[in-house]
Structure 1
Amino acid sequence: MKVKTKCITIVMPLLFLCVSCAEVKKEESTEVAIEKVKLMTLDPGHFHAALVQKAMYPQVDSTIFVFAPKGAEVDDFLTKIKQYNSRVENSTAWEVKTYLGDDYLNKMTSEKPGNVMVVAGKNSKKIDYVLAAVKAGLNVYADKPLVINPEGFEKLKEAFIIAEENGVMIYDIMTERFESTTMMQKQFSLLPNVFGELIDGTPEEPAISKESVHHFFKYVSGKPLIRPSWFFDVNEEGEGIVDVTTHLVDLVQWEAFPNQIIDSSQVEMVSARRWPTVLSLEEFQNVTGSDTYPEYLEKDIAEDGLNVYCNGEMTYKINGKFAKVSVIWNYKAPEGTGDTHYSVMRGSKSNLIIKQGEEENYKPVLYVESKLGADFEKSLNLAIENEIAEQFLGTTVEKVEDGKWKIVIPEKFKIGHESHFGQVTENYLKYLASGELPTWEVPNMITKYYTTIAAYKKAKEN
């Protein structure tokens, strides 16, 4: 998809400049400044909005525009930007111009002081923001998920059509593609001598499985995260099966079928289920700072506490392979731990497994389990020395037991979740500069959300 957008500052020589039709062309050099990317943050209700600005980028203007209703959420966003600007190391220099009012969306789309809308907040409103932006000829850079229900998915398909017509880009922030063990897992899966081919799998033992465990109480940028009360309303945030699973479904497509267009007709939902995490009033208070449950959460309050349907699991076939995705939310992680990730890709020659438990000190570690004989270790070492070293220089392999090895990735590649937002943003800026996304990105985004919505509908049937 070609995108007509002015993205970066470019200085280029013009060998011939015609000053007027009457003048003779003469050779000279001049500078033509093309407008930088200018970010407009709309209604920031999630801390991910601020993480986009935790770093600065040469292609991006230092002035950012904020359009939002008045309230604690935009105040929190502005506070984080001030913290980034004032920190001792790697401080930023953002100049913030803020408009606060109920007509914030119309104000942004009518005035358009920037060319890229950044949005991370209430998921219920996100697709309407996206539609309004592309209709106004603005590029979209959005936190996941773009949609949380079937009605939203229909709007998303419409938004992609309008974006194509208006020459603008819709892109969701897939940070997990930049996590080092996930990148390594994908790279190994592309090596026939080590991985072989992805097996078809079964519903009981899928070809590829991913599980993500998250926690309501956590620290962000070194401070306890205060979540808005609406975060616990599935009508606003979405159920877990359409929220965090977006990352996992994306990784299934990205790892198992790299650079391939996957159509929604290639997805068959086999089973899906949902269940709640129960929060006491005290736990709710600790996370939100609110004294009581707001009225809109009364529908979810039972004798045992607030029932939040944030957990979900789906098993499906994609391009002939069985896949399983699950997400679990707990109140708080044990001391010294945090959000965790488990993933396995089953190949004809080996399994590639990411674990993040106590044995790994709650840090993600990639293991390779062989299905072959003694010659496998030689193939594994050759892969480390050659293909793996090209992207992850200094990586080594450590034998754990017969037929199982741990991949030791240098610490410099383990930059953490918050820093992945900068990596995704830099990648997005490259797409803006080139004027197009990879051919598979848009159709696969549509298929990704088709999958999560299909799981949502299946789970609601039970």
Structure 2
Amino acid sequence: MKVAPVAGSLLMAALLTACQSDQKKDDMIHLITLDPGHFHAALVQKTMFDGVDSTVHVYAPDGPDVQLHLDKIKGYNARPEDPTHWHEDVYLGTDFLDKMLTDKAGNVVVMAGNNRLKTDYIQKTVGAGFNVLADKPMVISAANFDQLKEAFATAEKNKVLLYDIMTERYEISTMLQRAFSQQADLFGTLEKGTPENPAVTKESVHHFYKNVSGSILTRPSWFMDVAQQGEGIVDVTTHLVDLVQWECFPEQTIDYQKDISLTSARRWTTDMTLSQFKAITKQDAFPDYLKKDVVKDSVLKVYSNGEINYQLRGVHAKVSVIWKYKAPEGTGDTHYSIMRGTKANLIIRQGAEQQYKPTLYIEAVDKNTDLEAALKTVLPNIQKEFPGVEVKKIAKGWEVVIPEKYKEGHEAHFGRVAQKYLDYLKAGALPAWEVPNMISKYYTTTQALELAKKSKSELATK
């Protein structure tokens, strides 16, 4: 059959347009949410993103966890100010993982939920050729550490990106602590420290009873089961260990076999009454899997607290996390951090004096040090990256004055991480240091848990 010249031209144009349309569609990011059980899964969708399809495919077992997730997304869609317009295409069934792997309805899988099977989910998902954005922790036991390493190797082989959600890198006082530590005229060089007086200390306090997106958070019962959520020493400390690496050795590759040496570690419980448990889970009784942790008088003991003392390239660091049930009225989660330099210390405090808002201070190591002169030298360098940042003299040194525009809440940081991940997807690669540093981070936390358990066992036998 012959095609008239004009008709042929129109046909070619139509085919070209169709191909361009398909290519444009292929360039889109199509999100999948797998078994959402933690509110962090919803926070990834608190904002919309350019180049991301508004339809999100959800695969999960039927139950309250996925419903709480979907309710949060509905809330973002219905809010009066800057509403989102996500459409959740939901599959519920016991075969949700196999169904997701077979359907291939998207190209980026978001994981935030029960951590017991997360490492297995990650390995199977990257093995099937999906990109993965996973909430921390990616692994909660030393037994599964090698499996996570294999998942990273598989991701590289399949040319997909496996990345975890490190929101604390986007907290402005932490960003500035890192930036000031790179100014040798002010900070000097990072001290080596000792186990008794580490060069870097990071401490965070969290609460089970919590307000998220304007309402009291309902936590799944398994959140209090360390076999499913993970102990505190391998959960929240993931952020702290990440920040030690990120601040002390920015954009440098950490080799866990050469650069990390554990000194000591410990773990302890937070006690929770049945009435407190009911208030945050909406459940009338402890489930059977928690009864192993319940002592007389119906008190649940949760190993949510932990401390790690270790060396990173010879620098002594200490990280610790504490979980309390509920913060006093008007307060919330808090963070304390110090980096000790040869000339000055950089300290983040977030107590009553700071109205529970993180505040960065610069204090001289030697009282004869002229910090004012040093600040005049380095402040223009800081202001190039953070316009508007100033300093003011106080009794003990200097306070960094941060413009309100930088003071985003924790929930907004999930959008920052997601956008950074989208940028990496567009570039086709993570920075060279990210994968080895993620592996090093999880080596530190999982080995610390083993050390803490061993230390407690040894104490019990003495």
**Fold similarity call, TM over 0.5:** yes
Distance 1:196 1:442 in 2: 29
Distance 1:314 1:388 in 2: 31
Conservation of the 8 A alpha-carbon contact between 2:46 and 2:76 = yes
Match of 1:333 among 327, 336, 340: 327
Match of 2:372 among 352, 361, 377: 377
Distance 1:375 1:248 in 2: 31
Match of 1:201 among 181, 186, 193: 193
2:88 aligned with 1:96: yes
Conservation of the 8 A alpha-carbon contact between 2:185 and 2:377 = no
Conservation of the 8 A alpha-carbon contact between 1:215 and 1:338 = yes
2:210 aligned with 1:210: no
2:373 aligned with 1:390: no
2:451 aligned with 1:458: yes
Query: What SS does structure 1 have at the residue aligned with 2:186?
Result: coil
Aligned to 1:400: 394
Cα offset, 1:374, TM superposition? 5.2
**Worse-matched range after superposition: 406-415 or 393-402:** 393-402
Count of aligned positions? 435
Distance 1:100 1:293 in 2: 25
Matches within 5 A, 1:34-53: 34-53=26-45
* Per-residue deviation, residues 233-290 of structure 1 (Å, max 9, x unmatched): 0000010000000000000000000011110121110000000000011111111111
Conservation of the 8 A alpha-carbon contact between 2:193 and 2:199 = yes
Conservation of the 8 A alpha-carbon contact between 1:173 and 1:424 = yes
Cα offset, 1:389, TM superposition? 1.0
State the identity %: 56
Match of 2:111 among 101, 105, 119: 119
With over 3 angstroms needed to count, the CA separation of the structure-2 counterparts of 1:374 and 1:160, relative to structure 1, is closer
Match of 1:132 among 124, 128, 132: 124
Aligned to 2:458: none
Any unmatched runs of 5+ in structure 1?
1-18
Conservation of the 8 A alpha-carbon contact between 1:398 and 1:406 = yes
Match of 1:219 among 192, 208, 211: 211
* Per-residue deviation, residues 48-71 of structure 1 (Å, max 9, x unmatched): 000000000002111110000101
* Per-residue deviation, residues 363-396 of structure 1 (Å, max 9, x unmatched): 0000000124353212113322x11111221112
Aligned to 1:63: 55
Aligned to 1:441: 434
Q: Aligned-residue CA RMSD in angstroms?
A: 1.6
Aligned to 1:5: none
Query: What SS does structure 2 have at the residue aligned with 1:234?
Result: coil
Structure 1 segments of 4+ aligned residues over 4 angstroms from their partners:
none
Any unmatched runs of 5+ in structure 2?
1-7, 456-462
Match of 1:292 among 278, 285, 289: 285
Distance 1:433 1:78 in 2: 28
The structure with the greater share of residues assigned to helix is 2
Query: What SS does structure 2 have at the residue aligned with 1:438?
Result: coil
Aligned to 2:150: 158
Aligned to 1:431: 424
Distance 1:380 1:455 in 2: 38
Query: What SS does structure 1 have at the residue aligned with 2:81?
Result: coil
Distance 1:408 1:94 in 2: 37
Query: What SS does structure 1 have at the residue aligned with 2:116?
Result: helix
Distance 2:170 2:27 in 1: 29
Letter in 2 for 1:420: H
Match of 2:296 among 303, 308, 311: 303
Query: What SS does structure 1 have at the residue aligned with 2:110?
Result: strand
Distance 1:242 1:236 in 2: 12
Letter in 1 for 2:54: S
Letter in 2 for 1:354: I
Aligned to 2:179: 187
Match of 1:322 among 296, 316, 330: 316
Distance 1:230 1:376 in 2: 50
Letter in 2 for 1:107: K
Query: What SS does structure 2 have at the residue aligned with 1:393?
Result: coil
With over 3 angstroms needed to count, the CA separation of the structure-2 counterparts of 1:349 and 1:228, relative to structure 1, is same
Distance 1:382 1:154 in 2: 47
Distance 1:309 1:381 in 2: 47
With structure 1 as the length reference, what TM-score do the two structures score? Answer: 0.92
With structure 2 as the length reference, what TM-score do the two structures score? Answer: 0.92
* Per-residue deviation, residues 149-184 of structure 1 (Å, max 9, x unmatched): 012211101101111111111100000000000000
Distance 2:212 2:273 in 1: 23
Conservation of the 8 A alpha-carbon contact between 2:131 and 2:162 = yes
**Worse-matched range after superposition: 174-183 or 148-157:** 148-157
Letter in 2 for 1:53: Q
Match of 1:244 among 236, 239, 252: 236
